[in-house]
Structure 1
Amino acid sequence: MINKIDFTAKNLTSNAGLFLLLENAKSNEIFDLVENDLVFDNDSTNKIKM
């Protein structure tokens, strides 16, 4: 489980920073977690997930 991801504001303002953030999320299976394990109370909200 990820408790915290630290990125500096300078890195996040560039495309490279965004790429690092997305790669980190992918390598930690965050997208799979959101798609498969995150369930909302509202059915219409569940349809919006990735």
Structure 2
Amino acid sequence: MTALFALATSLLWGLADFGGGLLNQRTGCARCAAAGAGLALAGSLPPAAG
């Protein structure tokens, strides 16, 4: 199970690295950094109860 999590993490890391480079080319550094910070914040928040 640990190996599965490691493979999933490396896949997501690689996709984020590639996508960040594409986003930076299209929008510029400041917007890319703001988008990354917003996604990191959204990913760190607990899901809404309900």
**Shorter-chain TM-score: what band?**
0.3 to 0.5
Structure in which a larger fraction of residues adopt helix: 2
- TM-score of the pair, normalised by structure 1: 0.40
- TM-score of the pair, normalised by structure 2: 0.40
